[in-house]
Amino acid sequence: MLTLFHAPQSRSSRIIWLIEELGADVRIEYCAIAHRHGQKVGEADPRNPHPDGKVPALSHDGIVITESAAVALYLTDLFPEARLGAPVGSSERGAYLTWLTWAAGELEPAMWGQIMGQTETDAFARARYDAAMERLTEALWAGPWLMGERFTAVDVMIGAALGWGRQHLPDNRVFDAYQARLAERPAKVRADARDGDVSTLRAA
């Protein structure tokens, strides 16, 4: 059995989207988390197997996988027929792994540097942010998806990040067109409906 431990309107929301794109049979266990957007909001849910009390956490027959990139890789390898990943040995595997880990290791820190105002005072933060925006623009200009003609889990991971951080990104018609394409995907619409309302949760 596959179970996703999920907090509404959080980092695990993109995994709901990925599940819908995969057409996978995954049970969603809604749970509270201790921190949201850097603020203490309650206590971690004791049902959640994530060692840090965060989300996402995916349980597969007792095996627990955490961290969004790892969960995305695990699910796309588990459901190769959906063609949202790149199988081991394929010519696309390197690019796929690179984009997945770049999203967490470079893009999100760069975006947070901009959100927190660090790009205004820290030359490294500014250079990191500018480089990330340039890399995305170049990839999407070639597009229509980050890995070319085929939509993959990379678009879910990075598209979700661009969605919550759009107001902090450059005024860029390439980004706007990309977000419009993502918003039209039926799986994204279903995921948004399935995500849940944070106001319905109480800390455990």
> 84 with 151: CB under 8 angstroms?
yes
Given a cut of 50, whether residue 203 has pLDDT beyond it is: no
Q: Where are the alpha helices (DSSP H) in the chain?
A: 13-22, 68-78, 93-102, 108-115, 123-142, 153-164, 173-183, 186-195
Going by pLDDT thresholds of 50, 70 and 90, the confidence category of residue 82 is very high
- d(CA 85, CA 133) in angstroms, rounded, equals 23
Structure confidence at residue 127 (pLDDT): 97
Task: Please tell me the pTM assigned to this model.
Answer: 0.91
Fold that domain 93-185 belongs to in CATH: Glutathione S-transferase Yfyf (Class Pi); Chain A, domain 2 (1.20.1050)
Q: Mean pLDDT over all residues of the chain?
A: 91
In the chain, which segments carry CATH 1.20.1050.10?
93-185
Helices then strands, each counted (H, E), the chain: 8, 6
CATH architecture type of domain 2-83+189-196: 3-Layer(aba) Sandwich (3.40)
Structure confidence at residue 84 (pLDDT): 98
In the chain, which segments carry CATH 3.40.30.10?
2-83+189-196
Given a cut of 60, whether residue 189 has pLDDT beyond it is: yes
